[in-house]
Amino acid sequence: MQKPTETADQERIQEWHEEDYWMKMDFSPTWIFILPSLMIVSVLCFALFIGSVLIPSAW
């Protein structure tokens, strides 16, 4: 069941732009996009290192 949609006037839109965390951009995008990507890439590189260097040298 869907809720009825509300129509926003200009005042409500302006209030939303000032109060919403994502809309006022009161954060550093580095922490949201770049850091997790670097963490994933470093884990994949570490897994590649283990799989291609450490495991074959153990035999």
Above pLDDT 90, what percent of the chain? 41
Assigned domain for 6 exists: no
pTM, 2 dp? 0.55
Within a domain: 10: no
Residue at 7 is within a domain: no
Supply the DSSP symbol for 27. Answer: S
Q: Is the confidence at residue 59, as pLDDT, over 70?
A: no
Site of tokens 């495991």: 55
pLDDT band of residue 36 (cuts 50, 70, 90) is: very high
CA distance 16 to 58: 59
Q: Which amino acid is located at 9 in the chain?
A: D
Give the pLDDT confidence of 10-22 residue by residue, as tens digits. Answer: 999 899 888 988 8
> Whole-angstrom Cα distance, residue 37 to residue 30?
10
Domain extent at residue 46 = 28-59
Q: Is 9 contained in some domain?
A: no
Residue with the larger pLDDT of the pair 30 and 58: 30
